[in-house]
Structure 1
Amino acid sequence: MDALTGESGTNWRNLALAATLISGLALTGCQTSPTAGFANIDPAQGSSENISSLTSVINSDPRNPESYNVRGSAYGRAGKYRDALKDFNTAIQLNPNYYQAYSNRALIQRGLGDQQAALADYNRAIQINPNYDAAYIGRGNLYRKAGRTMDAFNDFQKAIQLDTTDPRAYHNRGLIYQSQGQHKLAIEDFSTAISLAPDAAEPYNGRGLSYLALNQEDNAFADFNTAIRLDKKSAEAWANQALVYERRGDKARAAKSYAEALHLNPKYQPAKDGLARTRTS
């Protein structure tokens, strides 16, 4: 989803921003906006009250790079990317070896559409700290969206070899396995992601699709239903549930679920196509 973090062992860890798990397959392919990268953290951390409090901290100690890094994270959660970028720039100016700030700034660069700047920042973070798992995961997401699948796989693999507890590494490696038809390996990775983030809907969507590819329809249906329970606004989950209904010949329920998916995301093509197939006159 790339974590925006403060330095480990500090009082600011609870302000870390985690990036959303990114889906990329035909049916589950979430079309995320930049703000989705900050979706799985308490929105209050991006509130004006919290930002005001962090500004007071900075005013009392304007040479502390960590304070800028934390406020930049809060700005990022609030969708104020230009303000976040300024704070991460200041943090890096104060501490040129602040690898967390480079990785955090990379996420903002991605949100602003500057993929080359994001890549440069991830590379710099890894150069400073070759064991920083969050930077590998962030760079892997960048590579995967650019179609550099093997480079992405290698970065997710590296993060996992570093014993990361970040579910995104497993989820995104699972997506790559899935795209290659290696569904058993994909299911293992999605299951690990679920164990690390049981309240995230996306790994259930991913695992459900691999179960479906292996004709384990009941397992797939259970996963899609869980994804809906966790995120009722997931158009992908509703469309996936509808697909199972459609496979079972229940066009009425399928059409209802496809319609809900389309209500949530009017541009979601799998829902449009599914509703056209199942809607009765």
Structure 2
Amino acid sequence: MPQPLSLVTRAFARGPITRSTVIEPGGRVARTTWRTAAVLGLMTVLAACQSTSDGPAVTAIALDQNQGLDQNIASLTQTVSTNPRDPEALNVRGTAYGRAGKYDAAIQDFTTALQLDPNFYQAYANRALVYRQTNQPAKAVQDYSAALQINPNYDSAYIGRGNVYRVAGRNREALIDFQRAIDLNTTDPRAYHNRGLLYQIDGQHKQAIEDFSTAISLQATAPEPYSGRGVSYLALGDEENAFTDFNAALKLDDKKAEYWTNQALVYERKGDRGKALKSYSRAAQLDPKYQPAKDGMARTRGGA
């Protein structure tokens, strides 16, 4: 079974947190034998991206960190002190704790909110995300499922649970959850992006490109769908569209080693080993342990 993709876990921020939202806001497969070293490099990149785990180091709570400042938490604590039996106030403070990386405090607030209001399905989803952040996937699935039992039309919980399944390699179950969210007419780009990644794993690159394009149409400022779509374009031999997408991803976020490596692969396939080496080197500088970048440098250094 293919290993899970990690890219999608760099999720998209979805705005401020209220009772009706959750703190969850928020890769990359080739099955062909290629003839050039550059394309072999592509396969290496894809394999490396698939093998990354979604541990607590991954930024799943990708929201405004200012919301987690001590001053803001102090203000929320005052509100909770004034209304200690208000699950809404506890949920909001738990969200702030989660954004600030104070996960134990966040879990405690969400748990207390649920004790006060057992039907508070958003608090279940919020606690589930913190469990994901702290590498407790079984508890995360349990909470997402509880949220869905209360509200079967809660698209964010399907997407969140689908991500837990995906990183566990349970791709069939993940696909079902992402499809359910899409069937609910979700406007959350993560559903399409995640489904696109699963299509990509299965070698269904045309379908993957369609999903990545939909994700981009829903949130054009997220770099991940551009990178994902570029990988599928490159797997289909469409270097020009792949190059355009990789450059778009870099324009939005030039601190990701995989984006520079993807750009380098196109340069390498075009025979421009000098530019390829420069991009591989930048990737290795950003992440010295990123093997596809190191391999690319080894291939292109002599011809630069």
Task: Report the TM-score, using the length of structure 1 for normalisation.
Answer: 0.91
CA distance in 2, matches of 1:241, 1:271: 11
CA distance in 2, matches of 1:49, 1:269: 42
CA distance in 2, matches of 1:247, 1:216: 11
- Residues 27-66 of structure 1: matches in 2 within 5 Å? 28-29=49-50, 34=56, 36-39=59-62, 41-66=63-88
Comparing 134-143 and 44-53, the one that deviates more: 44-53
- Residues 87-236 of structure 1: matches in 2 within 5 Å? 87-236=109-258
* Large movers: runs of 4+ above 2 Å: 1-6, 16-20, 23-35
CA distance in 2, matches of 1:268, 1:192: 29
**Alignment partner, residue 242 of structure 1:** 264
Of residues 267, 278, 281, the one that matches 2:300 is 278
Pick 1 or 2: higher relative contact order, CA cutoff 8 A, min separation 6: 2
User: How much has 1:68 moved relative to structure 2?
Assistant: 1.2
**Alignment partner, residue 264 of structure 1:** 286
CA distance in 2, matches of 1:33, 1:5: 24
Equivalent residues, number:
272
Of residues 17, 23, 31, the one that matches 1:17 is 23
CA distance in 1, matches of 2:69, 2:216: 29
Change (3 A) 1:119 1:33: closer
Asked whether the equivalents of residues 5 and 100 of structure 1 are also in contact (C-alpha less than 8 Å), the reply is: no
User: Where does the alignment leave 5 or more consecutive residues of structure 1 unmatched?
Assistant: none
Task: Report the TM-score, using the length of structure 2 for normalisation.
Answer: 0.84
What amino acid does structure 1 have at the position aligned with 2:47? A
Comparing 166-175 and 255-264, the one that deviates more: 255-264
Spell out, residue by residue over 1:35-94, the C-alpha distance to the aligned partner (whole angstroms, 9 max, x if none).
51122x222112222212211221221111111111111111111111111111111111
User: Where does the alignment leave 5 or more consecutive residues of structure 2 unmatched?
Assistant: 1-10, 29-45
CA distance in 2, matches of 1:263, 1:175: 27
